[in-house]
Chain A
Amino acid sequence: MLKLLLPGLLCTIGEKVLNPLIQLDPDAQTRLHRLQGKQFAVQLRGIPFRLVLTAQQNGIWLNSHDETVDCSIDTDISALQQLSDPSQLTRLIREDKLRIEGDLQTLQQFSQFFQQLQPDWQESLSAYIGDAAAHRVAGIIKLLEQHIRQYLQQSEQTFRELAQDELRLTPVAAEVQQFSQDVSTLARRTELLQRQLAGLLPQLQAQS
């Protein structure tokens, strides 16, 4: 009963989160102006609806439909995270993890817009608690962020070493690279053999 209405609910929540963040970034308006009037759609595999982003000077508005847009991508969540790196695009398309239809520049502009989005929440917070307190809170959060990032990096390193070197549960990077090279070689040889067999088949049929 609610299946048809769920995308609308998610779009409403999305707009309520996204547009205040855009308002908090003093440079966002200029960047948004360049995007004005453009529509970009994202279809995430496994998600039953397509999200359409419409950029206007007063914000980014969300919808869900299958109509023609300036650019649309069909991808999965893991590939979506890699889209911020333009050098990965070709690989993702080759591996069929990403399909792009329409104007590639629109995709790059939207991607750039979100990467450059830096809400100045400290400025906004200062209106409620004053400049000094807001600055202090910002400092504490920055410090906390650094500590968490450092802790996560250390934990990742420790677990990686434990799994690879001590417990020998997972291969090291060089082993993975060697294995994927071997797989590629095997795939090439199999393909060659397949072509040779396909060539031989008519001759064998003619002889019998």
Chain B
Amino acid sequence: MSEQQHAGTQDSTHFGFKTVARDEKVSMVANVFHSVAAKYDVMNDLMSLGIHRLWKRFTIDCSGVRPGQKVLDLAGGTGDLTALFSRRVGPTGQVVLADINESMLNVGKDKLRDMGLVNNISYVQANAEALPFADNSFDIITIAFGLRNVTDKDAALRSMFRVLKPGGRLLVLEFSKPTEAWLSKAYDLYSFKLLPTMGQLVANDRESYQYLAESIRMHPDQDTLKQMMEQAGFAETSYHNLTGGIVALHRGYKF
């Protein structure tokens, strides 16, 4: 699928398999996440059989985070990555948990406070396309399972590039394209048949999980996303396929 197809037209964009007006997508995605926020962590564990924790661990490893660094966890949701970063950057570092969705941010805030992580974390409700931070502010930026929900992904990548310090790195953890045909078929079956049913049973919300499956299919594949990162200005871009390409971790540097 080409980049243009992923982005939709100038006035329209994708919301799962539907084509909607660009202005509408933000509120539609917001509704999805307002709806799933409370059960987000339970559903993540259930849907991935806990493997999402290892994908996030791998992201931390690839970040090469050091004590004292400043990290932006974009679309940070319920704060899994923020928790891992917070412990590693220590009191001399800082982690900013940013999410466009207030409900997700509140769930994340409560969870991290319950974990005793309060000193080096700040919370910002922000749109990835227009980040409210000064140029060259962060050593590391991560966006895990968030980029596919952004309306203008190119604008978001440019915005991340702007706020990243020279020498800093961006890590994009996102659902991608399975590398094996058999896995792709099994994954289709799982995400279009089983996932919405699980959403209905656990979160009482079939539609949001139907959107999740559709949005994954509409997201750029590994090479397209790599290309998009390069167009935004990132250098030495690379990606790792995780769990057969169901998820990919992209990394790029700002020099």
Physical interaction between A and B: yes
Chain A interface (Cβ < 8 Å from any Cβ of B): 1-2, 4-5, 7-9, 11-12, 36-39, 54, 56-59, 61, 63-65, 67
Evaluate whether A61 and B87 lie within 8 angstroms (CB atoms) in the complex, with A7-B61, A37-B68, A67-B64 already known.
yes
Q: At the interface, yes or no: B242 with Cβ under 8 Å from chain A?
A: yes
Q: At the interface, yes or no: B134 with Cβ under 8 Å from chain A?
A: no
Chain A proximity of B159: nearest CB distance (Å): 26
Add 15 more A-B contacts to A1-B243, A5-B54, A8-B57 (CB < 8 A): A4-B240, A5-B243, A8-B53, A12-B57, A36-B67, A37-B67, A37-B90, A39-B66, A56-B87, A57-B91, A58-B87, A61-B87, A63-B60, A64-B61, A65-B61
Residues in A whose Cβ lies below 8 Å from that of B242: 4-5
Chain B proximity of A160: nearest CB distance (Å): 45
Within B85-113, the residues touching A (CB, 8 Å) are 87-88, 90-92
Number of B interface residues in the complex (CB < 8 A): 24
Is there contact, CB below 8 Å, between B88 and A56? yes
Evaluate whether A11 and B57 lie within 8 angstroms (CB atoms) in the complex, with A5-B242, A37-B68 already known.
yes
Residue of B with least CB distance to A37:
B67
Chain A proximity of B50: nearest CB distance (Å): 10
Chain B interface (Cβ < 8 Å from any Cβ of A): 51, 53-55, 57-58, 60-62, 64-68, 87-88, 90-92, 116, 240, 242-244
Residue of A with least CB distance to B60:
A63
The 3 closest A-B pairs by CB, nearest first: A8-B57, A67-B64, A37-B67
20 contacts between A and B (CB under 8 A): A1-B243, A2-B243, A4-B240, A5-B51, A5-B54, A5-B58, A8-B53, A8-B54, A9-B57, A11-B57, A36-B90, A36-B91, A37-B67, A39-B67, A56-B88, A61-B87, A63-B60, A63-B61, A63-B65, A65-B64
Q: A37 to B89: give the CA distance in the assembly, Å.
A: 8
Is there contact, CB below 8 Å, between B90 and A57? yes
Q: A29 to B60: give the CA distance in the assembly, Å.
A: 25
Chain B proximity of A100: nearest CB distance (Å): 20
Residues in A whose Cβ lies below 8 Å from that of B65: 63
Is there contact, CB below 8 Å, between A61 and B92? no
Residues in A whose Cβ lies below 8 Å from that of B64: 65, 67
Q: A37 to B61: give the CA distance in the assembly, Å.
A: 17
